[in-house]
Amino acid sequence: MKTYIRILQYADSIKNLAFPYFILSLLASLFGILNFTLLAPLLDVIFNDLKPADLQEYSDKVSFSFSINYFKYTFYHYFHQVISLYGRLGALKFACGAIVVSVILANIFRYLSQRILKTVEAQTIASLRQAVFEKTMKLHFGFFNNERKGNLMAHLTTDVQEVENSIGRAFTACIKEVFTLLMYFITLFNMSVKLTLFSLIILPLSSGIIALISRKLRRAARDVQALQSSMVSTLDEVFGGMRIVKGFNAEKVVSEKFRKENYDYKAAVLRMVYRQEMTSPLSEAMGVSVVAGILLYGGSLVIAGDNSLTASSFIAFIILFSQVMRPAKAISDAFSMVQRGIASSERILKLIDTVPAIQDAPDAVDMHDFNQEIEFRNISFSYETGRKVLDNISFKIQKGKTIALVGTSGGGKSTIADLIPRFYDPSEGQILVDGVDIKHLKIQSLTKQIGIVTQESILFNDTVFNNITFGSQAAENQVIEAAKVANAHIFISQLAEGYQTLIGDRGGRLSGGQRQRLSIARAVLKNPPILILDEATSALDTESEKLVQEALTHLMENRTTLVIAHRLSTIQHADEILVISKGKIVERGTHEDLLQNENGFYRKLNSMQE
């Protein structure tokens, strides 16, 4: 219940719409019940079972009250007047007309109440989905390395959809159906106390069985959602890496992996559905059993000539009680659906409740500009697995200088770069910018001072213009100037729609060099004082590398730059080169200085690339 209450916190519209929904549902239920209570006088006319005493009893009008008895009495008042004036046939026409009007009114109010319900559903889910997405965007970078993308996508799609389905069912069950059920039993008590008390034996038994099934259903729903997330992750990985799948003839391997996840999901769905579908026939079977018992008990009262129950009243009671099963069944179905919604809600709320491992300190201040240097002071870093990646690293990057990191893969170069914008925090030591620990700088103000160009060009399925201006606002002439600096303007101009050309998913309609130059243009437009280049040319062919390297040279002018290089030819003019191996700085110096060391690590790397 706590889970559901928390989800309803996102239902802002419920404050304004709950009361109208309640009133409309009340009217729909009221006129719906009147449809069946009007059957008794209709049957009296057909069976000619009218008593003279009734004509006298209902001869006077009564004052208005919002109750079934008022509407019932008012109907009988006019009904008996019609009998007096027009006879049995006139009364029959009157009763049939009243039933038709009651049905029309019941359905009008039911439709209006459903409009309100769907509005609440839509607004709640839009608000919840937005909250989940915004929360996800605020989580630290390391979270996304540990969490499968399929899980995050499932939270925003299937989990939210399950919550949407359950909200409508639960709202209806808690307000409309419960109220309808209550009204039915009030009416039934008015018709026959004995029969109504006899019928109530079904409720405790039914509730107990449904509660037992619901607990098992929630567990099954959790399994379904987890397996569905896993399957979505696999699809994302396979479709995103189709080049590798095809190139390594791995279709069979990924098909078998998907087959296992698919059939595990199928089995979990069937377990859930079997339990969910069990509630309806069980409640219906118990309902029919009670109806049979009422027929036996009530029939015996009629046969025995009990004055509290006439034949027409008994038939009307049976017909009305048969309708009790509809809201009762709807409530039991809603409980089943709510269990699925709660399982999804728990997954969503777990994400919403995730506390970012990296966030602004209470005393954090804005970083307005960069004036002096970046200092790594005795930095060590270990991932959650416990593997130590950096071990007591210390160095400085003076303003306007270029520091290059080289070494074998897995040595810790990219980790050093990720520590500057606080994608991760070091396990030990400090990173200082202008003498201030970056933990005491607001993260957004820090990242505004940093531009990043990585080996993999991260582009979006949007226009060239919007990819360059991503995260910033700029005029067209500024975008064109940035593209020129990045050696991208010429190829952009040759595209079908120039800067308004859609580049496809992840920039798939462009070559690798073109994608990289767009990434550089984005960094140029941001115009950051600090630049991080993470092997920005290592995945390019010779011609593309030349164009990109020229663009990077323009970009690095008058900036403080940290370069991670695979090809040593691209960092020969760096002010200082740090050679990283197994998380430590094993050599440092300029290109010429490092080549002087005959047994040095850098000289060996350089020899292998000649």
466 Cα distance to chain centroid: 26
DSSP string of 452-484, one letter each residue: EEESS----SSBHHHHHTTTS---HHHHHHHHH
Phi-psi map region of 394: left, alpha, beta (phi>0 left; psi -120 to 50 alpha): beta
Query: In terms of pLDDT, which residue wins out, 402 or 224?
Result: 402
| Residue 301 predicted with pLDDT over 60 | yes
Residues of the chain with CATH 3.40.50.300: 374-449+531-536+559-610, 455-527
Reported as type and span, the H/E element at residue 561 is strand 560-564
Q: Convert the pLDDT of each residue in 213-244 to its tens digit.
A: 666 666 777 777 778 777 777 777 777 666 56
pLDDT digits (tens, 9 = 90+) for 558-577: 888 898 887 777 788 888 98
Least confident of 148-152, 490-494, 594-598: 148-152
Average pLDDT over residues 452-458: 77
Nearest in space to 46 (alpha carbons), one of 83, 71, 101: 83
Weakest mean pLDDT among 41-50, 127-136, 361-370: 41-50
pLDDT of residue 543: 63
What are the respective helix, strand and coil percentages of the chain, to the nearest 5? Answer: 65, 10, 25
Strands (E) in 330-416, as ranges, are 373-382, 388-398, 402-407
Q: Residues 103-116: what's their mean pLDDT?
A: 86
pLDDT, tens digit (0-9, with 9 covering 90-100), for 237-296: 777 666 566 665 677 777 888 888 888 888 888 887 777 777 667 766 766 777 777 778
* Average pLDDT value for residue range 390-409: 88
Which segments of the chain belong to CATH 1.20.1560.10?
2-352
> Do residues 3 and 348 make contact, with C-beta atoms less than 8 angstroms apart?
no
Mean pLDDT, the chain, integer: 77
455-527 topology per CATH: Rossmann fold (3.40.50)
Q: How confident is the model at residue 432 (pLDDT cuts 50, 70, 90)?
A: very high
Question: What is the C-alpha R_g of the chain?
Answer: 37
Range scoring the smallest mean pLDDT among 78-92, 384-398, 477-491, 514-528: 78-92
Which pLDDT score is estimated for 293? 75
pLDDT at residue 349 greater than cutoff 60: yes
Mean pLDDT in residue range 459-472? 83
* DSSP class of 441: B
Q: Where are the alpha helices (DSSP H) in 139-154?
A: 141-146, 149-154
Hey, which CATH number is domain 374-449+531-536+559-610, 3.40.50.300, 3.60.70.12, 3.30.420.40, 3.30.413.10?
3.40.50.300
Average pLDDT for 531-552: 70
pLDDT at 55: 53
Q: With bands split at pLDDT 50, 70 and 90, how would you rate the model's confidence at 363? A: confident
Residue 211 pLDDT exceeds 70: no
Residues contacting 368, CB < 8 A, separation 6+: 445
Of 249-253, 311-315, 330-334, 361-365, where does mean pLDDT reach its minimum? 330-334
pLDDT of residue 542: 63
Between 253 and 373, the more confident residue is 373
The angle that helices 178-191 and 14-37 make with each other, rounded to 10 degrees, is 30
Question: pLDDT tens digits, residue range 121-143?
Answer: 778 778 888 888 888 878 877 77
% of the chain residues with pLDDT over 90: 4
Cβ neighbours for 33, distance < 8 A, ≥ 6 positions apart: 68, 180, 183, 184, 187, 320
Indicate if the pLDDT at residue 435 is higher than 80. Answer: yes
Find out whether 581 and 411 touch, Cβ atoms under 8 Å: yes
Give the residues across from 530 on adjacent strands.
Answer: 450, 560
DSSP single-letter state for residue 126:
H
Inter-residue contact 32 to 180 (CB < 8 Å): yes
Cα–Cα distance for residue pair 142/356, rounded to 1 Å: 9
pTM of the prediction?
0.65
Higher pLDDT, 394 or 233: 394
Q: Which positions ≥6 away from 312 have C-beta within 8 Å?
A: 40, 41, 43, 44, 47, 49
CATH class of segment(s) 2-352: mainly alpha
